[in-house]
Amino acid sequence: MPTFVYMTRCDGCGHCVDICPSDIMHIDKTYRRAYNIEPNMCWECYSCVKACPQNAIDVRGYADFAPLGHSVRVQRDEQKGTIAWKIKFRNGTEKNFLSPITTKPWGTAIPKLAEVPAPSKEMRDSELLYNEPKYIRLDDGGLHTLKSNGLKMKQGVYY
Amino acid sequence: MFTVNPFAVLSASVSPAVMQGFLIAMIVLVAAGTLFDVVHKGSARYFFEAWRKSKGSGAKQVGSAELVAIAVQTGLVDILTSGEFCNLRRRLAHLLTMYGFVFHALATLVLVFAYATPAQPTPVLWTLLWWLGGLMLLAGGYWFWFFIRVDVAAEGGSPLRVMHADLFILSLLASVTLGLVWALAGAGTGFLFVLYVLATLVLFGSVPWSKFAHMFFKPAAAFEKRVSKATGVADNLPTLTRDDPAQRERHSMELLKDAPMDMGLGIKREAPRHY
């Protein structure tokens, strides 16, 4: 189900207009607040919900798995590098999640492609892509495994 | 120029009683318009229903001392410093326009009610405040109108495209611009004066259809938002944060164990203008 805007919370900043991949978040011509101009075309990507600095946008869940009285709300905290979700079920059960959205300060891990030397012919002909994860190290000979790298699958984290 | 009381000059042709009556009529129009707006949109009903629901939902009860503290915080942060705005340019423009309006309106009231005739010498402070308020309002208002307005900044619309939502800002700018130009031109009763009065009538008479009443309902909404946070309801928003040491120990937060607490700004580094 599509997004909708709490009019008392929206301040018409335009972040949702900017980020919507379907270009369906627009500014109302009477109240200068955001609204979803074409709910049929909304695929609930939550981009606008997360980008809204006032938390003024919400999404109605599908009635089959999220009947009336439920709530699924999210808060993306860029400065802390986290995203938090609160799921409220109709019977009062509540679930809270907190996860990272970056592991390094924003903008510090952008590859400087202009400074990278041009690829050689061998590199161009190779099947490997630029920045192929280094830990595979196929060029080193031998396939590295979790065990050989001292890594472990942790229950509840990876499976 | 900045020391002359334009209303004292005007009193040669328009009696001070008429000017004072006009101002009282404008105040009545704002009060009536705002009440009509509140009843028509049901905003008061919505506000009190949300309040009642949060009380009945088993949320934490907030004491009267805490309510006073929240009201003071709302006054200081959300009203006096326009803390709601995340965009610095919007915040500055809003502060300029808001304080400009307050100074200009207050000075107009004092000039018309206390010093409406040349017989009562006007203190320079009030005429200066009238001009300063007007110029601040114009600076903030035109900056907003031409460059910051979301239709222009985020939607890519032409700055000259006018729509219903512009009724408040345009009538405000028209009234103050015409007022200052009228005062500059000698404060007579010609065509400029008629336009000034008309623009002022539109500004205060269009409250039910314009954004004028936001100066009353925005503080109420900001107060309600803070109370909702204090009761723990917080509009059902998540309350977990990384500030809580216990949350930093969650297994899902393992990757941020050694990361700084302030990761800087991501998408919010740039103003939304990628239309």
Chain B residue numbers with beta carbons less than 8 Å from the beta carbon of A11 are 84-85
Are the beta carbons of A18 and B273 separated by less than 8 Å?
A: yes
Q: List, as ranges, residues 195-224 from B with C-beta within 8 Å of A.
A: 211, 217, 221, 224
ipTM: 0.77
Contacts of A78 (CB under 8 A, 6+ apart): A101, A106, B263, B264, B265, B266, B267, B268
pLDDT band at A74 (very low <50, low <70, confident <90, very high): very high
Task: Choose, out of A46, A80, A97, the residue to mutate when testing the contact with B (most B CBs < 10 Å).
Answer: A80
Give the C-alpha separation, A33 to A35, whole Å: 7
Residue A150: is its pLDDT beyond 90? Answer: no
pLDDT beyond 70 at A62:
no
Note the pLDDT tens digit of each residue in B166-207.
Answer: 999 999 999 999 999 999 998 888 899 999 999 999 999 999
pLDDT band at B161 (very low <50, low <70, confident <90, very high): confident
Residue A85 is a catalytic residue: no
Report the alpha-carbon distance of residue B4 to residue B122 in Å, rounded.
8
Whole-structure pTM value: 0.79
Q: What is the pLDDT of residues B106-147, one digit of tens each?
A: 999 999 999 988 888 889 999 999 999 999 999 999 999 999
Q: Do A19 and B90 touch (CB under 8 A)?
A: no
Q: Which structure tokens are listed for B268?
A: 């919010």
Taking contacts as CB-CB distances below 8 angstroms, the residues of chain B near A98 are 238, 240-242, 247, 250, 252-253
Distance between CA atoms of residues B32 and B205, nearest Å: 9
Q: Which residue has the tokens 């009381």?
A: B5
What's the confidence (pLDDT) of residue B34?
92
Two tokens, residue B94: 């809003």
- For residues B220 and A156, the model is more confident at B220
A-contacting residues of B 130-159, CB under 8 Å? 149-151, 153-155
Burial pattern B224-237, b for ≥16 Cβ within 10 A else e, equals: bbbbbebbebbbbb
Enumerate the residues of chain B whose CB falls inside 8 A of the CB of residue A88.
Answer: 236
Give the pLDDT score at A131: 67
A88-116 per-residue burial string, b: 16 or more CB within 10 A, e: under 16:
beeeeeeeeebebbbeebbeeeeeeeeee
What is the rounded CA–CA span in Å between residue B57 and residue A94?
A: 14
pLDDT digits (tens, 9 = 90+) for A83-113: 999 988 888 888 999 999 999 999 888 878 8
| B73 burial level (CB within 10 Å; 0-12, 13-18, 19+) | middle
For chain A, the average pLDDT equals 83
Give SS3 for A58.
strand
Q: Do A107 and B269 touch (CB under 8 A)?
A: yes
Question: Using a CB-CB distance cutoff of 8 angstroms, which residues of chain B are in contact with residue A152?
Answer: none
- The yes-or-no verdict on residue A134 having pLDDT over 60 is no
